A = this chain, B = another copy of it.
């Protein structure tokens, strides 16, 4: 169930075809996952989203590609995004995440959620030592 209906043959739109081709080339795979199929209902939204995902997630940078996927999982689980948890867990496994690393990721994001709740419920005041503005 979704709130938009993907076109039967989205690549008849040349803007969509160009993005899908770039996804295939960047990932070296023919598989186009549903996120892109559904975003294709609006070519501009598809283009902008893919451009940003490619620039941040598929370009060499200061962070390791696997670390980037784990950060994505952390945010997606916290936001309760089922689709994103699935797609980025698959991506992290494809980039070499071991079962032990996955379990450790689970431990950290669960612990963070727990202490977030404690800090908020106790309304713990921020230590002045943490203020970057003053240092």
CA distance A35 to B129 in the complex (A): 13
Nearest chain B CB to A28 CB, angstrom units: 16
What copy number does this chain have within its complex? 6
A12 within 8 A of B: no
A115 within 8 A of B: yes
A89 adjacent to B1 (CB under 8 Å): no
Contact of A34 among B3, B73, B83, B125 (CB under 8 A): B125
Contact of A62 among B62, B83, B98 (CB under 8 A): B98
A126 adjacent to B75 (CB under 8 Å): no
A126 adjacent to B82 (CB under 8 Å): yes
CA distance A57 to B111 in the complex (A): 9
